[in-house]
Amino acid sequence: MEEERAWRTRRMVMWINGLMIVAMAFILLGIYWTTYRRNPVAMSESPDGQFRLILESEGDIKWTDEAFGRLVLKKGNKKVAVHKFQLQTQGAKPLSEENWDVNWFGFGARVKLFAANEQVLEVCLNEDGNINVRDGSNYSETLPEAPQVPEESQATAAPTVDPAISLEEQRQADGFRAIYDQVFQPQGWSMIQDWTAKGNGYILLFEDPERVEYLMYDRPSANEACGLYVHYCSHKNEDGSWSTTDGEIQEMYAYVYETGEVIAAGKTAWSDPGTEEYQQATGE
């Protein structure tokens, strides 16, 4: 009798433990599905086909107006850069293609993230893994789309995502890349694409609490055989702000379109004549 009672007690404990394990499994599964499960929402491919940018949502069921997601930049099957974000959405809506807008530049992608039809974040993901994030509410009225599609090609170009890149834009991007690879990468400097309020692209090379150094495209050379670039240094104000309009010239470079050669001008002022090699290459 006692043995039977003990057996029934053990059996009941086993049933209770089993039910608790099943209940805990359902709870953990629910937490995973509602909070952590990553679901691809949208994808954009670079014009040259080398890169893919994926918008992922984290968690399938939304109980609040907060939506969590990731931007994943891939080159082939390799993850190059990953950025997690959080958006406030109306009515607990999941992320969708309506929440982003993608523009590709020479070596990465620029993403605008929207919530309730208002831009809230701007993220630049570069192929070297660098990520630059801005509060879009502060810049949405001043920062342009990049790159701009020429008017003559708008009729045949793709829509906002993956716009066609003109020859001039491609040459500018190639020049940025060549100068960075040959001059600044050996120094261990960064390569982060950004834009001024007027829409002029530049590469952020170095930043510390006191100064910022960056490379800007200037114009084609007089003989149209080269693209001309300027390396600037801007000192920060006490509040940490700085402006490209206050930059001091550190050096100028010519990028030769035909050969990909980079020629230092030896110029730290616009009035300087530059080296003989620079003059011959640029016709100036």
Token pair of 213, please?
A: 């150094």
pLDDT at residue 200 in the model: 75
Percent of the residues in the chain that have a pLDDT greater than 70, as a whole number: 68
Q: Is residue 226 predicted with pLDDT exceeding 80?
A: yes
Residue 26 to residues 19, 23, 31, 193, 239, Cα–Cα distance (Å): 11, 5, 9, 45, 51
Domain match, 173 and 133 both = no
User: What's the Rg (C-alpha) of the chain?
Assistant: 27
Token pair of 104, please?
A: 């590709």
User: Mean pLDDT highest for which of 166-175, 180-189, 245-254?
Assistant: 245-254
Q: Would 271 be classed as within a structural domain?
A: yes
Q: Would 25 be classed as within a structural domain?
A: no
Domain match, 171 and 273 both = yes
Q: Is residue 248 predicted with pLDDT exceeding 80?
A: yes
Q: Would 21 be classed as within a structural domain?
A: no
Domain match, 232 and 148 both = no
Other C-beta atoms closer than 10 Å to the C-beta of 29 total 11
Q: Which residues are CB-contacts of 242 (< 8 A; sequence separation ≥ 6)?
A: 211, 212, 234, 235, 236
Q: Is residue 95 predicted with pLDDT exceeding 80?
A: no
Domain count for the chain, please give it.
2
Q: Would 278 be classed as within a structural domain?
A: yes
Give the residue from 105, 127, 153 where a domain finishes.
153
Q: Would 4 be classed as within a structural domain?
A: no
The pTM (predicted TM-score) of the whole model is 0.53
Domain span holding position 271: 167-282
Q: Would 158 be classed as within a structural domain?
A: no
Domain match, 41 and 76 both = yes
Q: Give the pLDDT band (50/70/90) at residue 178.
A: very high
Give the 3-state secondary structure of residue 252: strand
Residue 112 to residues 44, 128, 136, Cα–Cα distance (Å): 13, 20, 8
Q: Would 19 be classed as within a structural domain?
A: no
Cβ atoms of 131 and 183 closer than 8 Å: no
Domain match, 222 and 149 both = no
Q: Would 67 be classed as within a structural domain?
A: yes
Q: Which residues pair with 11 in a beta bridge?
A: none
Token pair of 62, please?
A: 């939304």
Task: Tell me which residue of 248, 275, 249, 271 sits closest to 263, measured CA to CA.
Answer: 275
Domain match, 276 and 172 both = yes
Least confident interval from 21-30, 145-154, 201-210: 145-154
**CA max distance for the chain:** 109
Domain match, 72 and 130 both = yes
Give the 3-state secondary structure of residue 31: helix
Give the integer Cα–Cα distance in Å for 243 and 234: 7
State yes or no: cis peptide before 147, omega within 30 of 0: yes
Q: Is residue 30 predicted with pLDDT exceeding 80?
A: no
